[in-house]
Homo-oligomer: A and B are copies of this chain.
Amino acid sequence: MDTTQAIFAFSALSQETRLDVLRLLIKAGQTGMNAGEIGDVLGVRQNTMSTNLNILLRSGLVRNEREGRSIRYFADIDGIRGLLAFLMEDCCGGKPELCEPVLDAIVCDC
């Protein structure tokens, strides 16, 4: 992950539809969701959703897989990890009490 890529990824997340999509796909986990299904759930027009899905794809936060006529989208965990690792790189200047709370926040219930 370099700065340019990180900026592109954060930029992808700085728009409501795309942020909603990624959060939805993170919830969906390995099951993923079809493009049309995502558009229906979020109430976004087909071509707008397609454009936004493509931006998420290019940002490396999402991946997809053709499934017959549909295309299924998934959160790309490696991409998300890379982005967060880039942000938190060299964190806390040797004082773990600064960054530990950040980790705690992401621990999920599963």
Contact = CB atoms under 8 A, between A and B. Distances in A.
Interface of A: 3, 6-8, 10-11, 13-16, 19-20, 22-23, 26-31, 75, 77-78, 80-82, 84-96, 98-99, 101-108, 110
Complex copy number for this chain = 2
A6 B13 CA distance: 9
A93 B77 contact: no
A10 B19 contact: yes
Dominant secondary structure of chain A at its interface with chain B: helix
A78 B14 CA distance: 19
Contacts of A3: 16, 19-20
Contacts of A22: 87
